[in-house]
């Protein structure tokens, strides 16, 4: 299957000079993902042989001077390349949805204690830390403001922390008309089924590392066309990629951690090779380095999308 796909890609490249331009190279200055309707999102997230591989910036792509889960960081990251942004959602004492990975404030800000013990207004007294632990001028953002910023720029994968009701997140996504650029992350078939029952129109990221996982999701009533597959923090088997692609499902590999470290040690071409072997989206702590390799992949295979502008 991978050989067939590579031959198809090569034929597209060889034939590009006589085609009408539908496979032109994605220019480096095209960084916005402009998706306006749910049908557009479904189309963009359906696997095809000419799909455009993308980076998912883990926690938004923090770096020196820019903290994780901050809108300012999202903006900097999204100016470099078309981007999926993975971010984390917590709940304040007064039921405001905010972006925060940890239960406690200590690691990522100059605050102390649990997020749930503060109102949103009280959280605004704290400043966020960057990747070096240095304080920045940036504050803890609400999910509402993040969704407002992201329209016409990025796709979000929303990682909903424990004890945060899915209903609150779904309601806000709907109210802000953010469904066309939002994917809800789930960690089990039962969670995915709950989200699908609550919001059958929304796309779901589900853990699928083998064909049986997809069949279980189907048994729970979650259809293929509402799924992207998180295959894990290591590459899937070729037959798993093939199976999921035959079902039109894109595959996310979490490179944060071990695979990012391998790329540092062995060379960033590892990211290119992972896409070539079947991954469609790389969720990484190294979005700049991985992004260079994916831009090379898109250029080499002359890939583009009407939704990237």
Count of other CB atoms within 10 angstroms of residue 81? 23
35-to-24, 77, 156 alpha-carbon distances in Å? 19, 18, 12
pLDDT of residue 21: 30
Q: Give 58-74 pLDDT, tens digit per residue.
A: 999 999 999 999 999 99
Q: Give 99-137 pLDDT, tens digit per residue.
A: 999 999 999 999 999 999 999 999 999 999 999 999 999
Rg (CA), the chain: 19
Q: In 3-state terms, what secondary structure has residue 182?
A: strand
pLDDT of residue 290: 98
CA dist 86 and 284 (Å) reads 10
Q: In 3-state terms, what secondary structure has residue 36?
A: coil
Residue ranges, the chain, pLDDT below 70: 1-28
Contact status, residue 222 vs residue 193, Cβ threshold 8 Å: yes
pLDDT of residue 146: 98
pLDDT of residue 29: 75
Report phi then psi at 90, rounded to 5.
Answer: -120, 175
């Amino acid at each position: 299957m991978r050989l067939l796909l590579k031959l198809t890609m090569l034929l597209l490249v060889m034939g590009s000079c006589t085609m009408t331009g539908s496979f032109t190279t994605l220019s480096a200055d095209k960084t916005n993902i402009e998706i306006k309707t749910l049908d557009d999102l479904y189309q963009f997230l359906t696997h095809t042989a000419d799909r455009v591989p993308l980076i998912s910036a883990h926690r938004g792509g923090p770096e020196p001077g820019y903290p994780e889960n901050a809108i300012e960081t999202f903006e900097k990251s999204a100016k470099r390349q078309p981007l999926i942004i993975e971010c984390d959602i917590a709940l304040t004492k007064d039921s405001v949805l905010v972006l925060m990975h940890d239960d406690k404030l200590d690691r990522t800000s100059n605050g102390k204690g649990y997020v749930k013990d503060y109102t949103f207004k009280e959280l605004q007294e704290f400043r966020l830390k960057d990747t070096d632990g240095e304080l920045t001028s940036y504050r803890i953002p609400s999910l509402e403001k993040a969704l407002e910023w992201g329209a016409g720029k990025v796709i979000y994968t929303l990682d909903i922390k424990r004890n945060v009701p899915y209903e609150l997140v779904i309601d806000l996504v709907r109210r802000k008309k953010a469904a066309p650029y939002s994917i809800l992350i789930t960690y089990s078939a039962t969670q995915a089924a709950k989200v699908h029952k609550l919001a059958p129109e929304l796309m779901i990221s589900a853990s699928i590392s083998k064909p049986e996982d997809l069949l279980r999701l189907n048994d729970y009533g979650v259809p293929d066309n509402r799924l992207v597959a998180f295959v894990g923090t290591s590459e899937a088997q070729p037959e798993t990629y093939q199976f999921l692609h035959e079902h039109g499902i894109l595959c996310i590999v979490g490179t944060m951690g071990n695979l990012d470290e391998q790329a540092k040690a062995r060379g960033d071409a590892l990211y290119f090779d992972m896409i070539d072997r079947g991954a469609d989206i790389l969720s990484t702590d190294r979005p700049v380095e991985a992004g260079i390799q994916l831009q090379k992949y898109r250029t080499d295979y002359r890939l583009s999308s009407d939704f990237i502008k």
